[in-house]
Chain A
Amino acid sequence: MSGSLSRRNFLSKAAAAVAAPYIVPASVLGRGGATPPSERIVCAGIGIHGRGFDDLRAMVSHRDVQFVAICDIWKQQRHAVKDFIDDHHGNKDCKMYRDIREFCAERQDIDAVLIATGDHWHAQASVRAMQAGMDVFTEKPSSMTIAEGQAVVAAAKRYGRVYQTGTQRLSEANHVFAIEMARAGKLGQIHTAYAHIAPWDSAKMPNTWKEAQEQPPVDEVDWDIWLGPCPWRPFNMDYVKGGWRDCYDFHTSCIGEWGAHTFAQAQAGLNAGDTSPVKYQYVDNDSGDGMVCTFANGQKMILSRGDQYWHGSCGERFDGDDGWAAAADGYSMPDVSNPKMLAEFKKVVGEYVARTGRSLDHMRNFLDCVKTREETVANPSVMHRSMSTVHAANICMWLGRDLEYDPVKEEFVNDDEANRMRARAQREPWVI
């Protein structure tokens, strides 16, 4: 029932062994071994396409998941998800909804919902789902502003909901190793962490409107709901297909794109999951590369766009008095100052699992918590604090000056303009 302390999950270094042909189980004609209904988690999805399908596959790969409904403003995707799910479950039971309000009002039976909309809907949808009694797994970045993050934290607390943001590297063994090495002091006192930001675009987003196209019927594409709480602009199908990343209205820039992951990773290793840096030092470039963020205890987190600290994407590195450790996608093992540290890999990771009871499968960790009502590894506070760092770093870049932030009051110090950017008015009728 609880987070499985299992070597099966993570110690199967599949390097060895010639793969045997795929053996066909004999139980095909029955559905032997299925999870009894009482232990099934009834799940649904909101806004799933592209990368969202990865999450969906991850979710339904767990046998205790029964996926029953999809809510999406885009008809084609509603049907694509329904087809996928019906095929997966071998029935035709997946129900389709266009409007999240109807979906939340009607589906009291749903335990947990997967949210993989465009970024600007993550917090709005999370709050609504939690108010309706659903637990939430949402893609990152999970808030557009500091205020949205606060609303997510408040709703999860108020209604006792389990929430996980999709920063899956917090559950991956390589990152767990680097984080635990830092957290447990095995690198000495940590003075600096480095966090990767997306190397392909800018912190400064043009926000220009794409050419207006004829708006399709709401049943095909509900443009009004797609826009949701964001400023109105004319319909263009490119947005719906995912072309919204260069827009201030819809995106949190190259800093949020990967910082949503890497700031959470870095803050976990710094034991700073429940706070944010207090100082943000403006850098005179387009991306925020090299920005030094300083925590109240003097520890630094430096934004890095290049790969001098790691050899892959979404990396973080911890530099301590006695050594350093780094992890990123594309590593077979973490990178360390002394290779002997790696002999401890299984031990460090195993002890993390033993200490926390958490699965090293991000989705499994969420599903376990749905059952046990525990806090997830990427819970609302972890999301909100790392995203607050993202928002503060963005505001620093946008205003073009150094900022000071008070993570207790959650306000910038002596900077009215920065404080005015902590929230954005939600477009009616959306309320947060």
Chain B
Amino acid sequence: MRNIIGSLLLAGLVVLAAVPAVAQDTNPLEVLQSDASPEQKSQACIKLSVNGPVEAVPVLAALLVDEKLSHMARYALEPMPYPEAGQALRDALGKTSGRLKVGVINSLAIRKDQQAIPLLIPLLVDADADVAQATAVALGPFATDEIQKALMIVLSQPNLAPGRFNAMCDGLFQCAEARAARNQKVEAIALYKTLLELPNTQTQLRTAALRGAVLNFGVEKGMPLLTQYLQGENTDDFFSALRVARELSEQPGATAALAALLPQLPPERRVLFIDLFGENDGDAAGAALIAQAGEDPVELRVAALKALTRMHYSPALDLISNLAWTAEGPLAEASRDALAYFPGADGDAALQALLTHADPKARRVAVELVGQGGLDNPAAVLLNTAVTDADESVRVAALEGLHGYASPEEMQSLLDKVIHSTSPAEARAAERALTALGERQKQMPGGIVVQKAVYGNLPDGPSADVTEQVSRIVAEGAPTMQASNANFGDPAPGAVKKLSVEYTDNGTPISKTVAENETLKFKEGIAPAALVDAYFAAFDQAQGDTKLALMRLLGSTGSPKAFEVVRANATTGEGAMKDTALRTLCEWPTSEALPTLLELSKTSVDPALKTLALGGAVRLLGATPPGEALPQYVAFMAQASTPEEKKLVLSGIAQVHNLEALNLAFAQMHDPAVKPEAAQAAIAIARGLNQPSVEEKSFFNGADLTGWESGTNYWRVEEGAIVGQTTEPITQNEFLWSAIPVSDFYLSVDVLLEPNEANSGIQFRSKKADERGQATGYQADMGKDVWGHLYHEHGRGKLDWVGDAETMVKPGEWNHYEILAVGPAIWTALNGKIGVAFLDPEGANELSGLIAFQVHAGPPQKAQFKIRHLVHNPRIEMETLGPRDLISALRDPQQ
């Protein structure tokens, strides 16, 4: 039999070129009935799904009860156009259970198998929730009275599990949708209303019910129901109704009805409601919105202006145009955006009109909006205004607008303004426009030689050698390049790739890596020679303030030739020339200026200039490798004399993600004038900290005291805990010492102290004071009234005695104690609450030492310690506290 079917079919089966990789001459039915591999059988079913003949049905039907192949049998059967396939699936309903049955039900649903209905209805109450739920969803679209009734009966059962409840609702929604599609609107609406009235349903179910009822009612009958929800007290209901209103607004006549409702809503809802009026609603809602544009609060007016613009409602242009130059705050912003981008020619005409308004303030606003793209050909419009307008402030605004547009075409006109304008403000604005023009035209200077470039899922994933492409982009003069598939293809689809480039800059080897879609910057660009030459020519002729302006322009080019001239003026010039030259150096765009700025920032006697130089140096250091920048920051910090300078240095330090930088930031937290900035820097560093943490494996073995030492016999191990117990009063504190030295570490330990009135503690970074094992150093304290405090045993005494973590302690029970020490910063926490966050101003010589547990002098006590973790070089975090929590809590008790 098998072979007969096989040979019959061979001729009829179209060979699929692409679908699965079954050898093309194999007959999938033969494969299924052979001892072929699971893979071959799976592929055979995929093939049969596309063109399997009716003769395949019995073979597949037999597999429906096969745990492993049932799905693949359905995969082939489900799309088959033959009634026999439906029969096979219906037959399988009685032979399957659990997951397999769920699958069969779903396939019958996809096939829209009418004959399955009577078989499925009883399954609505199946004991298997997955079966019942799949059945509800499957039956819904058939939407017979019987199905609807059956679903309702299940739904009305008390204490129906939420999963079943939602599935029954989904089935009923599908019923209602099917009835609406059959034009049985009355029945659909009745069903939706029933569902809407169910108590305590989830928001999405209420939204679904309201949506169905309102949309099927249509505008006239639906609006009252919708209004009730729009005005309802429940915010969720309002948002459901808002969504429905959006869909209703597509029906004829809805926009006017919704606009009429607008005044009846509270203002904060109106703000959201207005959003639903769009492009085509001008005629019906425009007038209503103009009214809203005059009503408080301002959010409402803004929303109305945006809507009027969206709908291109030209009668609003007078209002918008007027507000654009008379209003303030958000209303001004909204009306200006509206005027700039009001669609169509009438919007442009309104802006044109404002350009020639009698009031200069109106013209100033108009010019700004042209700069934002309000009119065609903005560069020409702006240059024309800059030359012809009678008012200086308008001309200045036009020049400022050119900032974003000036091209080489406008260069000479702008340079003329710099040289000839009698208005300092105009000259300055023209200068800024030229500076921006120069930035846009910059090209990378020579000297970069690419050695090797790799793009891919670095370091271990697939990657491609892109040396050639990178070299080409460099040769084209681009100072930056984006690490993107556009440039380098996609060697590792789906992964976030990196671009890593090794190159030399005038012989100095440099290596840089950036993530996908970031920009790799080789070095600062230099403005084109034509621009530099034009500036030089003008510079040589100029006098007074104009010469100063041209020096600044030369500075903005980054040209080495200009650098020499500016530096010469900074050294040998006098008065304003010298001063401007110095300031120009402080803003120099390329690292060429770094040595000069480092020098200036140390030696300048003018405090303002010193700060400027420092700012420039920090800016340029940001582009140098962290290893080189950090020593400079250290030196800067040592000589920084004002908070402003310290903040500048901190902003540089924040970009270096190592421990040394972190300690520098911590050190500045002692200075109240820069504490917030130092903390911010510390948080930034802590988040990017690039040192690997190491879990200590040989701290405690859980069984005995290997690696621990004590001069007494008070210590033992019991049930995985270290126990320190005294049975008689003792006269001095005693300790159990670990041999593991710690410096920066995180210790997480569960502790139990009995009685709570006794005292114990955890020494860390401590030293043995004598041979007997007395301790000197930090102690995280334990015991009534001292829990979580920081003590300094045999030394500085109470270091931080303020915290209230003890409120979290459960006396006489196990409590979770965490200790974190990184550089001068020490934290304790009890059951997740910070005890101390202490910046030790005097701890420079106590950055490392040993851990020891204490039993205290006094009456008998028992202290137990269950070690969770000891981590070296930890990140700044505890179990429930992150870097921001911990660092922002740090304080110096001396302050």
Contact = CB atoms under 8 A, between A and B. Distances in A.
Interface of A: 1-2, 5-7, 11, 13, 15-29, 50-51, 53-54, 86-87, 89-92, 105, 108, 130-133, 147, 157-161, 198-200, 203-209, 231-234, 242, 245, 248, 257, 312-313, 328-330, 343-347, 349-351, 353-357, 371-375, 397-400, 416-417, 419-429, 431-432
B204 A20 contact: no
Nearest to B163: A105
Interface in B195-234: 202-205, 207-208, 211
B341 A5 contact: yes
A161 B244 CA distance: 11
Contact of A131 (B105, B170, B276, B883): B170
A428 B71 contact: yes
A105 B167 CA distance: 12
Interface residues of B, dominant DSSP: helix
Given A160-B243, A234-B38, A428-B100, 9 more contacts: A28-B676, A28-B679, A198-B490, A203-B18, A205-B18, A207-B46, A347-B376, A357-B306, A420-B80
A339 to B, nearest CB: 11
B484 A329 contact: yes
A415 B654 CA distance: 64
B749 interface: no
B474 to A, nearest CB: 16
A343 B380 CA distance: 10
A428 B683 contact: no
Contacts of B309: 5, 354-355
A204 B208 contact: no
Given A21-B652, A398-B17, A425 B435 contact: no
Given A231-B72, A248-B46, A329-B486, A350 B373 contact: yes
B882 A90 contact: yes
A80 to B, nearest CB: 12
B106 A431 contact: yes
A90 B71 contact: no
B43 interface: yes
Nearest to A202: B18
A29 B888 contact: yes
Nearest to A231: B42
Interface of B: 14, 16-21, 38-39, 42-43, 45-46, 49-51, 68, 70-72, 74-75, 77-81, 99-100, 102-103, 105-107, 109-110, 130, 133-134, 137, 162-163, 166, 170, 173-174, 177, 202-205, 207-208, 211, 239-240, 242-244, 246, 271-272, 275-276, 278-279, 299, 303, 306, 309-310, 312, 334, 337-338, 340-343, 372-379, 403-404, 435-436, 439-440, 482, 484-487, 489-490, 493-496, 517, 587, 589, 615, 618-619, 622, 647-648, 650-652, 654-655, 675-677, 679-681, 683, 687, 879-885, 888
Nearest to B107: A425
Contacts of B619: 18-21
Nearest to B495: A50
B341 A354 contact: yes
A25 B683 CA distance: 13
A198 to B, nearest CB: 8
B637 to A, nearest CB: 14
B341 A353 contact: yes
A2 B299 CA distance: 10
Contacts of B881: 92
Nearest to A286: B18
Contact of A15 (B174, B375, B439, B676): B439
Given A20-B619, A91-B882, A354-B343, A232 B439 contact: no
B495 A51 contact: yes
B18 A15 contact: no
B21 A206 contact: yes
A43 B490 CA distance: 31
Contact of B482 (A50, A330, A425): A330
Nearest to B202: A133
Given A1-B303, A7-B337, A248-B46, A423 B100 contact: no
Nearest to B100: A428
Interface centre among B439, B680, B883 (most CB of A within 10 A): B680
B18 A398 contact: yes
A13 B439 CA distance: 11
Nearest to B299: A1
26 contacts: A1-B272, A5-B337, A28-B680, A51-B495, A86-B882, A160-B204, A160-B240, A232-B68, A245-B493, A248-B46, A313-B484, A313-B486, A344-B376, A347-B341, A349-B373, A350-B341, A351-B342, A355-B310, A373-B239, A420-B51, A421-B50, A425-B75, A425-B107, A428-B100, A429-B99, A431-B133
Contacts of B174: 158
Contacts of A53: 496
B603 to A, nearest CB: 21
Interface centre among B19, B133, B299 (most CB of A within 10 A): B19
A208 B485 CA distance: 27
Interface residues of A, dominant DSSP: loop
A232 B41 CA distance: 11
A282 B853 CA distance: 78
Contact of A27 (B482, B618, B676, B681): B676
Contacts of A158: 170, 173-174, 177, 208, 211
B559 to A, nearest CB: 15
Nearest to B137: A431
Interface centre among A108, A232, A355 (most CB of B within 10 A): A355
A158 B206 CA distance: 10
Q: Nearest 7 A-B pairs (CB), nearest first?
A: A346-B373, A428-B103, A330-B486, A90-B884, A133-B204, A350-B341, A354-B341
Given A91-B885, A424-B75, A160 B341 contact: no
A11 B482 CA distance: 20
A186 B664 CA distance: 59
B53 to A, nearest CB: 11
A20 B586 CA distance: 12
A160 B14 contact: no
Contacts of A419: 79
A167 to B, nearest CB: 16
Contact of A232 (B51, B71, B622, B885): B71
Contact of A428 (B99, B487, B496): B99
B75 to A, nearest CB: 4
B704 to A, nearest CB: 32
A407 B567 CA distance: 71
A420 B677 contact: no
Contacts of A397: 18
Contacts of B652: 21
Nearest to A340: B377
A29 B676 CA distance: 6
A231 B489 CA distance: 31
A398 B272 contact: no
Nearest to B173: A158
B43 A18 contact: no
Contact of A207 (B43, B99, B374, B650): B43
Interface centre among A28, A90, A199, A416 (most CB of B within 10 A): A28
A271 to B, nearest CB: 13
A399 B679 contact: no
Contact of B683 (A18, A28, A133, A357): A28
Contacts of A422: 79
Nearest to B681: A24
